[in-house]
Amino acid sequence: MDDKRAVSVSKFLSMVLRHKPETIGVVLDEGGWLDVDVLIAACAGRGRRFSRADLDHVVATNNKQRFAFSADGRRIRASQGHSVAVELGLTPAAPPDVLYHGTAAATVPLILREGLKPMGRQQVHLSADRETAVRVGSRHGRPAVLEVAAAALAGAGHTFWVSANGVWLTDAVPPERLRIAVD
């Protein structure tokens, strides 16, 4: 599978496994899981053909590790980022003192007024390092990085989780726990 096709399959899987499973006529279980054979057949039925080997390649080589197989390899799900209701079954985790959020520079004034909200997703996504946040923010235009006082939020009762691919999740971040990251 060449890189261009792998990216195309990955983007399609993100749409199906995170946002719109109905586009291929499937329903995710409560944990966001879908039987691999059902996924492959449903995608083929909508003209998006790929093999189990292709799927294995996409999961193994996705630079953001967006997807995970179940322990037995029979099911697949997105690691985080769902707009459809799923319960990932993650255990609450103590965050580091600071986490980061990458965004477009144009959104910073609004975020500093209103805080971080999940928007169309189930939780706010945070990065453990500034470099990742810069990459995330770059997807939306000129990037800006916000520092999140994560340990202080956790101490105030906010819950944090870390997904299988290392993305930190929380329900919201109030503006008083944010500041613009500087070099």
Distance between CA atoms of residues 158 and 155, nearest Å: 7
Is it the case that residue 44 has pLDDT exceeding 70?
A: yes
Region 98-180: CATH code: 3.20.170.30
pLDDT of 145 reads 97
128-153 tens-digit pLDDT: 999 999 999 998 889 999 999 999 99
pLDDT of 120 reads 83
Distance between CA atoms of residues 42 and 178, nearest Å: 43
pLDDT of 183 reads 64
pLDDT of 140 reads 83
Is it the case that residue 158 has pLDDT exceeding 80?
A: yes
49-106 tens-digit pLDDT: 999 999 999 999 987 889 999 999 999 999 988 889 899 899 999 999 999 999 999 9
User: Which string of b and e fits 109-148 if b means at least 16 CB within 10 Å?
Assistant: eebeeebbeeeebbbbbbbbebebbbebbeeeeebbbbbb
Average pLDDT over residues 110-125: 93
pLDDT of 100 reads 98
Token pair listed for 75:
């099911």
SS3 167: coil
Token pair listed for 16:
């199906």
Token pair listed for 19:
């946002």
CATH architecture, domain defined by 3-78: Orthogonal Bundle (1.10)
Distance between CA atoms of residues 52 and 71, nearest Å: 16
Average pLDDT over residues 141-167: 95
Task: Tell me the domain boundaries of the chain.
Answer: 3-78, 98-180
With a pLDDT cut of 90, the percent of the chain lying above it is 83
Torsion of CA 174, 163, 167, 33, to 10 degrees: -100
Q: Do the first three CATH levels of 3-78 and 98-180 match, i.e. the same topology?
A: no
pLDDT of 152 reads 97
Distance between CA atoms of residues 16 and 40, nearest Å: 12
With a pLDDT cut of 70, the percent of the chain lying above it is 99
